[in-house]
Amino acid sequence: MRLSDGIPNIRSMIDSGEPVCITFEDSEGDSSELLYCEIVQKARYGESFLIDRQRCSAGEYILGRTSRSPADYYLRSGRYADMETAATAVASLPRLRKEFASIRIEPLSVNKGEFDVLMVFVNPEKAMRIIQAYAYHFGKVPDISTIGAASICGDCTARPLTEGLGLSFGCKGSRKHTHYRNTEIPLGISRDIILKIEEGIEKTPETYD
């Protein structure tokens, strides 16, 4: 049984599109003119990608493809009061610490069962159910801190690799360029805890009886 057939509870959380699988690979990928968040959104609706680079400079930093800080870019975009604050913000962002050659980004339905992070876009009530499912097994608060920047690449891709779960309210770039709905919250889940989240959703009570 493929994993895509074995997580009906997670799939039931989603109102539109599919879960997206993020896999870090050793094979050579292509350089994309799309932003990382745009690629994820397209994968959500059926497209597949194998990339080694993408167009977002902040995303390149978060994904470990460059050591150049995006602090100057963030300051110029008006996100922070001054350079010191921008640099402090960048230092707080989750950043990928993993060696890889390319990233495979594809819908769950075509994935062969091997991936590193599963990303879903859900409404707030469903996000709460997933957090409850996490707490069912671990009994602790997951690290879901977010700063309104590097949402899809940082909060929902890099953070789950170390914390298991990463939730975000989005960022200016991802919401502007990919147009996911204002009612949707992106959330990343590590492959290591997928089956625990699946079971936790089944075992915990529904919000509305």
Residue 207 pLDDT? 81
Residue 172 pLDDT? 87
- Is 40 part of a structural domain of the chain? yes
Paired with 107 in beta bridges are: 20
Q: What gap in Å lies between CA 173 and CA 175, rounded to an integer?
A: 6
Model confidence, pTM: 0.93
Find, among 143, 150, 183, 185, the residue nearest to 166 by Cα.
143
Residue 113 pLDDT? 86
Find, among 192, 205, 206, the residue nearest to 138 by Cα.
192
- Is 79 part of a structural domain of the chain? yes
- Is 149 part of a structural domain of the chain? yes
Provide the H-helix boundaries in the chain: 8-12, 36-44, 57-62, 71-76, 83-92, 124-138, 159-163, 172-178, 194-203
Residue 209 pLDDT? 56
Intervals of the chain under pLDDT 50: 1
- Is 209 part of a structural domain of the chain? no
Query: What type of residue is 175?
Result: R
For the chain, the domain total comes to: 1
Residue 75 pLDDT? 95
- Is 162 part of a structural domain of the chain? yes
Find, among 170, 209, 207, the residue nearest to 188 by Cα.
170
Residue 6 pLDDT? 78
- In which domain, by residue range, is 167 found? 3-203
Q: What gap in Å lies between CA 198 and CA 8, rounded to an integer?
A: 8
Q: What gap in Å lies between CA 192 and CA 174, rounded to an integer?
A: 26
- Is 208 part of a structural domain of the chain? no
What's the CA angle centered on 43, arms 41 and 49, to 5 degrees?
120
- Is 170 part of a structural domain of the chain? yes
Task: Identify the three-state secondary structure at position 173.
Answer: helix
Q: What gap in Å lies between CA 94 and CA 208, rounded to an integer?
A: 34
Residue 156 near residue 134 (C-beta atoms within 8 A): no
Residue 4 pLDDT? 62
